[in-house]
Amino acid sequence: MFDELMRAGWPAIEEARVDGWIARFSSGVTQRANSVVPKAAPADLDAAIATVQDLYEQRGLPTLFQLTPGTDLDHALAARGYVGGSPTSVHTVDLGTPRAAPGVDIADAPDQDWLDLWWAVDGRGDSDALAVAQKILAGGPALYATVRDEHGAAGVGRLALVDDWGGVYCLAVRPDARRRGLGRLVLDGLLAAGRERGITRSWLQVRAENLGARRLYQRAGYTEVSRYHYRSHRRQEPVQHVHPET
């Protein structure tokens, strides 16, 4: 279920189906939008791996799998030399009545202030990479929150709307505005606005080593429900123009 939520919440620009797997391609912008989701076991594992390797090679990208740790496929790829990394935790919360969030502006699309702050904090790459990221953002319905101070946008966030679920993405606070509770304020604003749109549950992904973010989400009521990591057949990290998780 969470694989489908994450696919809808952060959709790749292009997908290809390979014998029970979904290979995603987005010019290297984020690991999630440029990795294989193994939905079902292929009839011929070696042939499926060779096929996806060819697909990623054609696009100049490493073959990257998003995997639950310890599965048969995880072990099989490790035995073939695939290198693991980016351990990520998936959290969820059932929404009651979200906290009030005064001063949070909510919109159905990101304005330039939102994009500028998000890209300044999380972006890695040139204008072409940003253009791809904008296509990913526009791939499904979402809400965009902005908190401003005397210097302009100070905190931003995105809530993907998928049925009655809301997925938290792109939570970013301007470096000089941190430690003022703005991350929690943006999160509260997103959840309150999402509740008005009919969401009753929320999910998010956060890098396992990001202890500060995990504490923030724990205080907001989120609990861990699963983990995943990535395996790549190249020895270096894949091209990644924005941080993959919140």
Structure confidence at residue 100 as a pLDDT band (50, 70, 90): confident
Please give the residue range of the domain that contains residue 12.
Answer: 2-88+227-232
Structure confidence at residue 245 as a pLDDT band (50, 70, 90): low
pLDDT the model gives residue 235 = 44
Q: Is 105 found in the same domain as 83?
A: no
Q: Residue 82: CB partners within 8 Å, gap ≥ 6?
A: 63, 65, 231, 232, 233
Domain count within the chain: 2
195 inside domain:
yes
Q: Is 131 found in the same domain as 37?
A: no
Q: Residue 61: CB partners within 8 Å, gap ≥ 6?
A: 25, 28, 34, 238, 239
Question: How far apart (Å, rounded) are the C-alpha atoms in residues 41 and 39?
Answer: 7
Q: Residue 178: CB partners within 8 Å, gap ≥ 6?
A: none
Report the CATH number at residue 119: 3.40.630.30
pLDDT of residue 237 exceeding 80, the answer is no
Q: Give which of 103, 166, 158 is closest to 136, Cα–Cα.
A: 158
Question: How far apart (Å, rounded) are the C-alpha atoms in residues 94 and 201?
Answer: 4
Amino acid identity of residue 52, one-letter, is V
pLDDT the model gives residue 234 = 64
Q: Is 212 found in the same domain as 111?
A: yes
33 inside domain:
yes
Q: Is 164 found in the same domain as 189?
A: yes
Residue with more model confidence, 241 or 81: 81
Q: Is 103 found in the same domain as 80?
A: no
Mean pLDDT, residues 207-224: 94
47 inside domain:
yes
Percent of the chain with pLDDT over 90: 88
Amino acid identity of residue 12, one-letter, is A
pLDDT the model gives residue 41 = 95
Enter the tokens of residue 163: 């049925």
Q: How distant, in Å, are the alpha carbons of 117, 122, 174, 184, 218 from that of 151?
A: 12, 19, 10, 19, 30
pLDDT the model gives residue 98 = 81
Q: pTM for the full model?
A: 0.92
Q: Is 199 found in the same domain as 126?
A: yes
Q: What is the pLDDT of residues 7-41, one digit of tens each?
A: 999 999 999 999 999 999 999 999 999 999 999 99
16 inside domain:
yes
242 inside domain:
no
Q: Is 186 found in the same domain as 145?
A: yes
Question: How far apart (Å, rounded) are the C-alpha atoms in residues 98 and 74?
Answer: 38
Q: Is 210 found in the same domain as 97?
A: yes
